[in-house]
Structure 1
Amino acid sequence: MRVTQSNDPVQLKRVLGLFSAVNFIISVTIGSGIFISPTSVLKYSKSVGMCVLVWSLSGVISLLGALTYAELSTLVPRSGSDYVYFMSTFNKYHRFWAKLPSFLYSMVMIMVIRPASIAVVLLTFSHYISDPILDAYCITDLDVIEKVKITLAISGLGLLTYINTASVKLYVLIQNIFGCFKVIACLIVVGGGIYEIAMGNAENLQKGFEGTTSSPKDVALAFYSGLWAFEGWSMVTSITEEIKNPEVNILRSILIAVPLVTILYVFMNISYMTVLTIEELINSSAVAVAFGQSVLGKFAVVIPLSVAFSTFSCSLSLQFGITRLCYVSGQDGLMLKSLSYVHYKKMTPGPAVVLQGIITFLFILTKDVTELIQFVGFMKMIFYSLSMVSLLILKKRMKDAPRLYKVPFLLPIFMLFIFMFLFFTPIVIDPTAKHLIALGIVGFGIIFYYVFIYKDLQPDLFLSGLNSYIQILFEAIPSRSIQEVGDEEVVNRP
């Protein structure tokens, strides 16, 4: 047989246009929180006016942070977000430090934060899917209810894992449909609030800033909660290599999506506070459901269905984004090499998707992983801070690099201050054992990095065999040019 070289590289394909990029940001940002319990900001701000102000400023700060990432994406046009920015920034320093920040970021995100977050969202999804069914059949046995919810969460995980393995185009189609439904659901809540205001039911809003907290601690915690709800504003840079015309569309998607989410969050909270009292809002376990029962009457069922669609869409996009981090870290050798392999026809990173499915499955079985997310979630503020340092360094190092967009030099300094504030606030105000556990996880990561990455003490024979097995099992190809033998497509073996 004659061997010929294909001109087409085996890599992720650019299939997400501007509309899909906007929907991606919306999907990972708007999950279940704004429908279920957006109470923390109100709890700490203690007034309607201050609550609205905190939500508005949180949106502005998130937009500013997203704009800094937009410039980083033009300087380092690879998928992986913070990971690739650290690689490009610190590779000029001592060999030990060159890859350490990227390894710690990938380890914490891949092994804990993202799969745990997906597990929490899927458990919420199963809760809102199962409740109408359980009520219809009058099932009250707690063991049966628990089994039904776990089964539905695992089923949802299987479905989204299949979608992300099968086709990027299928993912884009489903994400765009669900994203539109999600925005419509938010607009239903906003419309209900406008209707109540038009009917003269604005007594709660007229309280304005009455009772606003004077405690700096409460103000800090209110902003911490508000900014946390916007988590996801930076994730579009995790899929840079799959966005069409990324140097333009990443910035445009941020300028469209983050203000849109901010407007929806602000007006949804105004709607909630129009219908429900402060006490009802703070004590409600499902704010949107209580709102729907008060305003929508027999159509109130649309709210739990909206939460279910919203949570599934969020978990689908979260998994899509984190598998791209697996992909780039596998390429660089900081994770298993086979995580960077893509299916020879579908061009999806099947091994990375399945790995995330397995880890998420284990977190679902633990049932209560919210505390675990909090253990390491605040560590993301350190990574955000390092990204701002990266931008400052790259601005100087690559000052003549051509790019269509740049932010003022003072902006990353301002955002660095914000992120460091958010990192130290919970430690200073409410120090707990979970912060020590988070730091312990990072300490373990440093030891692992020193032994297996820096000293390169790896079982090469075992890893080579494992990569070969995964390659055959997933019909996957290393992300480089493939060879064709006659009419057959040949898989390159490591």
Structure 2
Amino acid sequence: MTERMDKEGGSPAQGLKRELGLFSAISMIVAVMIGSGIFVSPSSALEHSGSIGLSLIVWMVCGILSLLGALAFAELSAVVPKSGAEYAYFLDAFGPLHRYFGELPAFLYSWVFVFVLRPAEVAVIVLTFAEYFVQPLVPLVGELDAHNWTLLKKLVGSLALGLMVYINITSVKLYVKVQNTFGVFKILACILVIVGGCWWLATGHTDLLSEPFKGTTSSPGQIALAFYSGLWAYDGWTAAAIVTEEVKRPEVNILRSILVAVPVVTVLYVSMNLMYMSALTTTEMIGAPAVAVLWAERILPSWMGFAIPLGVALSTFGCGLSVQFGVTRLCYVAGREGHVPRFFSWVHHERLTPAAAVALQGALTLLYMMLGNIVELIEFASFLIWVSYGLAMLALIVMRYTKPDVQRPYRVPTFVPWLVLLISVYLSLMPIYEDPSLKYMFVLVFVLLGWVVYHFYVHQKKKSDFTRKLTYLVQMLFMVVAPDEVEDKSDEALNDKSNQVK
């Protein structure tokens, strides 16, 4: 069959449709970058920097560094116009260099992110959503002991997760509508904090800001930790690159979405931190279980007490929805390459969504939710995110030499990937240096297990009757077909229409 080209993106049709315009791409980046952190625990940078002034400088510099990294990803998305972000870049940069080891980084990336890191992250996000969603209901249900409170959160979280799975399975258009709506409410919640803080300052409450650099640390290690906290809060700027194949005119809109979203988030983060620090002392911010809630109790009228918990709930739901959307596309691309079972790259025969991949992420997320406290799991595995960013920068540098003739709509200065690479190396090693725990052995063991799976089931392509039966079961259960079959049906429909016209 001749390969058809996607009208809007110029890339081969792969079964997914380009439904994300510029506003949706911006909204997705904002949704993933702004989770609950800026509302709940933004004080880590302040704690390590020691002063308001240095803390705000850290937040601003972290925004600029995040923008540089995102611009490098925008160039990568133009050189490798495929979904999956780092996964696709590793394949194209390192795959041709060695038959065996060239594909290994991409496989291990999908292995860790698809099966552990992203579903565990969504599980934490969903449980945070549940906690803030049920807070206004406490007067209605009465005081609950710790066990029943946990059960209630898991019940509400499970319902929210089911809604996320339903949205992502139903259609990309539905996801876009929900994501854009929640994105607007998320921005409004941030603006509420900023406007309330401006009113607080305008009424003369400037005492806490009178000596902005008092207490500034002189320890290089503490300053480094402040930057580590800030850069972690900005994580998510790769969101649009992960879904390149579903973005309209990706060669233009990914860059534009980054140039809008990352500066907007930077302004919001810096402004919100300033407003928090104008009303709360450093001790209060560090000790508060939820900084924004404590701030609202002090600043906002009592009748607006529901606004911040509602804002956190909407923010976390939108963030979880978008993170799940992105990782299902990574799963989809990895299935297309044979790095996970191929049926994960198949799409629903009518809705054109990777239904099996969405269901897998829903099941894994539910499993992690039921396991209990998994925040620690994310903390000691999250350094792998910076490993992947560093390898992506290395991939960009490699492809500058191996693909010099590939059309690049724009090109970042050479110092940018080198700078981000150095920062990534530092941020990858910092958690291990600060806390050389045996817990990191779990990550090593899991990566080595992935290598074993890669050797036997990807490199040697071992098959079994179980996998064939599982493939048939998944196809029947989720009504998914290979993208080529969708294209064939589309072609037949076009031919039928043509004949009817004749």
Match of 2:244 in 1: 240
CA contact (8 A) 1:21 1:253 kept: yes
Q: Deviation of residue 319 (structure 1)?
A: 0.4
Q: Judge which range, 428-437 or 228-237, deviates more.
A: 428-437
Match of 1:95 in 2: 99
> Aligned pair count?
484
CA contact (8 A) 2:380 2:431 kept: no
Q: Judge which range, 61-70 or 466-475, deviates more.
A: 466-475
Q: Deviation of residue 139 (structure 1)?
A: 2.5
2: distance between equivalents of 1:82 and 1:142? Answer: 41
Q: Deviation of residue 135 (structure 1)?
A: 2.8
Match of 1:139 in 2: 143
Deviations 1:389-446 (A, max 9, x none): 1000111111121121111112101110010011112222321122222222212211
Deviations 1:126-182 (A, max 9, x none): 101112212333222322212111100000000000000001000000000000000
TM-score (norm 1): 0.95
In the alignment, structure 1 residue 462 sits paired with structure 2 residue 472: no
Q: Deviation of residue 10 (structure 1)?
A: 5.5
2: distance between equivalents of 1:419 and 1:224? Answer: 10
One-letter amino acid of the structure 1 residue matched with residue 243 of structure 2: I
CA contact (8 A) 1:25 1:236 kept: yes
CA contact (8 A) 1:16 1:244 kept: yes
1:61 to 54, 61, 65: 65
2: distance between equivalents of 1:209 and 1:248? Answer: 42
1:171 to 171, 175, 178: 175
2: distance between equivalents of 1:439 and 1:258? Answer: 33
CA contact (8 A) 1:344 1:476 kept: yes
In the alignment, structure 1 residue 423 sits paired with structure 2 residue 428: yes
Q: What is the RMSD computed on CA atoms of the aligned residues? A: 1.8
One-letter amino acid of the structure 1 residue matched with residue 154 of structure 2: I
One-letter amino acid of the structure 1 residue matched with residue 86 of structure 2: D
In the alignment, structure 1 residue 385 sits paired with structure 2 residue 390: yes
Q: How does 1:422-461 map to 2 (within 5 A)?
A: 422-459=427-464, 461=465
- The verdict on how the C-alpha distance between 1:248 and 1:418 changes in structure 2, with shifts beyond 3 A counting, is same
- The verdict on how the C-alpha distance between 1:7 and 1:435 changes in structure 2, with shifts beyond 3 A counting, is closer
Match of 2:118 in 1: 114
Paired residue secondary structure (1:91): helix
Match of 2:158 in 1: 154
2: distance between equivalents of 1:10 and 1:239? Answer: 13
CA contact (8 A) 1:374 1:434 kept: no
Deviations 1:8-55 (A, max 9, x none): 956110011000000000001100010011111111111000110111
In the alignment, structure 1 residue 267 sits paired with structure 2 residue 271: yes
Q: Deviation of residue 457 (structure 1)?
A: 2.5
CA contact (8 A) 1:10 1:478 kept: no
Match of 2:315 in 1: 310
Match of 1:228 in 2: 232
Q: Deviation of residue 468 (structure 1)?
A: 2.1
2: distance between equivalents of 1:333 and 1:440? Answer: 23
Deviations 1:335-369 (A, max 9, x none): 01000010111111000000000000000001211
The runs of 5 or more residues in structure 1 that have no matched partner are: 488-494
Q: Deviation of residue 7 (structure 1)?
A: 9.6
Match of 1:130 in 2: 134
2: distance between equivalents of 1:7 and 1:471? Answer: 26
2: distance between equivalents of 1:469 and 1:132? Answer: 43
Q: Deviation of residue 476 (structure 1)?
A: 0.9
Q: Deviation of residue 99 (structure 1)?
A: 1.0
Match of 2:404 in 1: 399
In the alignment, structure 1 residue 363 sits paired with structure 2 residue 348: no
2: distance between equivalents of 1:429 and 1:149? Answer: 33
CA contact (8 A) 2:86 2:392 kept: yes
Deviations 1:437-469 (A, max 9, x none): 22222122112212222222332x332222122
1:374 to 371, 379, 394: 379
One-letter amino acid of the structure 1 residue matched with residue 316 of structure 2: T
1: distance between equivalents of 2:363 and 2:4? Answer: 34
In the alignment, structure 1 residue 46 sits paired with structure 2 residue 70: no
2: distance between equivalents of 1:94 and 1:137? Answer: 61
- The verdict on how the C-alpha distance between 1:88 and 1:486 changes in structure 2, with shifts beyond 3 A counting, is closer
Q: Judge which range, 204-213 or 323-332, deviates more.
A: 204-213
Q: Judge which range, 435-444 or 35-44, deviates more.
A: 435-444
1: distance between equivalents of 2:426 and 2:472? Answer: 46
Deviations 1:287-343 (A, max 9, x none): 000111111122121000000000000000000000000000000000010000101
Match of 1:85 in 2: 89
Match of 1:291 in 2: 295
One-letter amino acid of the structure 2 residue matched with residue 419 of structure 1: S
CA contact (8 A) 2:37 2:233 kept: yes
Match of 2:415 in 1: 410
CA contact (8 A) 2:196 2:299 kept: yes
Match of 1:491 in 2: none
2: distance between equivalents of 1:387 and 1:274? Answer: 39
CA contact (8 A) 2:335 2:345 kept: yes
CA contact (8 A) 1:118 1:360 kept: yes
